[in-house]
Structure 1
């Protein structure tokens, strides 16, 4: 007697263990679209089409756009934190760390995060806003620890490490521009210039 085949839960998309999960595919696609276009222009239909899945599959995992946005952004922040930590561990020199972090940040075009949040906030619950800010804060904590360690070792001047983290992140936003004035820079060139500005300041030398 043949065993009856186990049935999937109603509405559950088919999965393939050799491929990224459908949930991950949707999340990765959503985070790219949100960071490229902002919150409002991106629709569930657009995400489904770009991910190559059905709209019903997106809704199986995420009840609405706000939930999908919150999850995609917080998981993206977690990945950024992980890769930033890897860069920090791979280089002992603080300036090299900053340059490599800058290159990684500037290699991908994205909207300015605070602008993205201002656009999304009216559609998010208080809990969702807090979840995103907590995930973002973890990156700043990591960077602040790096600056604090460099201060203790005498590699940089004493100051507020958390303020330095936010200042450095703000400078990274220049990487969103195709041109700076009339000049076009590669991500590598711009990262070196910006880190140099951050490192030296604007005092006469």
Structure 2
């Protein structure tokens, strides 16, 4: 990088700043929480000035909302849109959450974490979390309907609750709860879908 491409204190500037800010927010918000991440730290990790950060995101709230929006905009497309799986298999594939080891378990769902940290029900990120969780339950219900479930909305809500519970339990206990959740989900799915 040439001296002309460096900003204050030798930081990078210009091209890619927005992506670096979002990447830094993803890392820091998930590691230490939204409330514990200050803009100074975020800018240092993203290698941008505060001025540059606020040119891309006028407030931290706007940044948090965009951070959530970018996680999974299509609601698990790799699962729900996988035509190689039967509807029953897609319902259970939601619980195939990869973990690489006991020290690198999936962090708490970012939508749950944001909803817990942000007290204002009208906060745009809180609404984003609400909409995403509703979308997950709706996709599960649609897939349950496709599988022939007697009450697809109920099954969708049950599986959504089980998924969120597994995410929280995995984080709190530092243990993989998704395998147990998958076994419970199989029982629920088989009970709801007539043979």
**Same-fold call, TM cutoff 0.5:** yes
Query: What TM-score do the two structures reach when normalised by structure 1?
Result: 0.65
Change (3 A) 1:53 1:108: farther
Structure 1 Cα separation of the partners of residues 88 and 47 of structure 2: 41
Is structure 2 residue 161 aligned with structure 1 residue 167?
A: yes
Q: What runs of 5+ residues in structure 1 fail to find an aligned partner?
A: 1-12, 16-20
Distance between the aligned counterparts of 2:20 and 2:32, measured in 1?
18
> Residue 103 of structure 1 contacts residue 191 of structure 1 at CA under 8 Å; is this kept in 2?
yes
Structure 2: how far apart are the matches of 1:171 and 1:131? 19
| Contact 1:36–1:111 (8 Å) recurs in 2 | no
Distance 1:200 1:115, change over 3 A: same
Sort the Cα spacing of 1:95 and 1:148 in 2 relative to 1 into closer, same or farther, 3 A: closer
8 Å contact from structure 1 (residues 99, 192) kept in 2: no
C-alpha RMSD of matched pairs (Å): 3.0
After the TM superposition, which residues 41-56 of structure 1 pair with which residues of structure 2 at under 5 Å, given as runs? 41-56=36-51
- Secondary structure of the residue aligned to 1:49 is helix
Normalising by structure 2, report the TM-score: 0.68
Give yes or no for the alignment of 1:109 onto 2:107: yes
Find the partner of 1:146 among 143, 146, 158.
143
The structure with higher relative contact order (CA 8 Å, sep 6+) is 1
Distance 1:43 1:142, change over 3 A: same
How many equivalent residue pairs? 168
Structure 2 unaligned regions, length at least 5: 1-12, 100-104, 189-195
Secondary structure, counterpart of 2:73 in structure 1 = helix
Question: 1:86 matched to which residue of 2?
Answer: 78
